[in-house]
Amino acid sequence: MAAYVIVDSEIKNLDGMKEYIEKVGATLGAHGGQPIVAGTNIEKVEGDWNPSRIVIVAFPSMDAAKAWYNSPAYQEILPIRTANTDDKVILVEGL
């Protein structure tokens, strides 16, 4: 069953994120990750959620999503993201 990494991202330092943006794609392939959404054109229709940027990455399974997140390759660049953004990240199983 597919799984998704959903990120509500507020970039605080775009220059600081350049290295992460350049490297993150290479960490996805070994786990079957495919970015499907990365955008700022967001229209709120309900609730108090006001994200400035949403990123969604599809994986073939929850195990694959967790394996990617916990992989040495991703963990190596994760501090770059956390130092330069205020993010909320969830993993969710699809249908």
Please report the DSSP string for 79-95 in residue order: HHHHHHEEEEEEEEE--
What are the C-alpha distances in Å from 79 to residues 2, 17, 44? Answer: 27, 10, 30
* Tens-digit pLDDT profile for residues 23-46: 999 999 999 999 999 999 999 999
In a domain, 87, yes or no: yes
CATH number of the domain residue 10 falls in: 3.30.70.100
Give the contacts of 51 (CB within 8 A, at least 6 positions apart): 8, 9, 10, 42
pLDDT tens sequence across 64-85: 999 999 999 999 999 999 999 9
**Domain count for the chain:** 1
What is the extent of the structural domain holding 36?
A: 3-42+65-93
36 domain-assigned:
yes
51 occurs within a structural domain: no
Domain assignment present for residue 24? The answer is: yes
**Domain for residue 18, yes or no?**
yes
- 74 domain-assigned: yes
> Whole-model pTM?
0.94
Percent of the chain with pLDDT over 70: 100
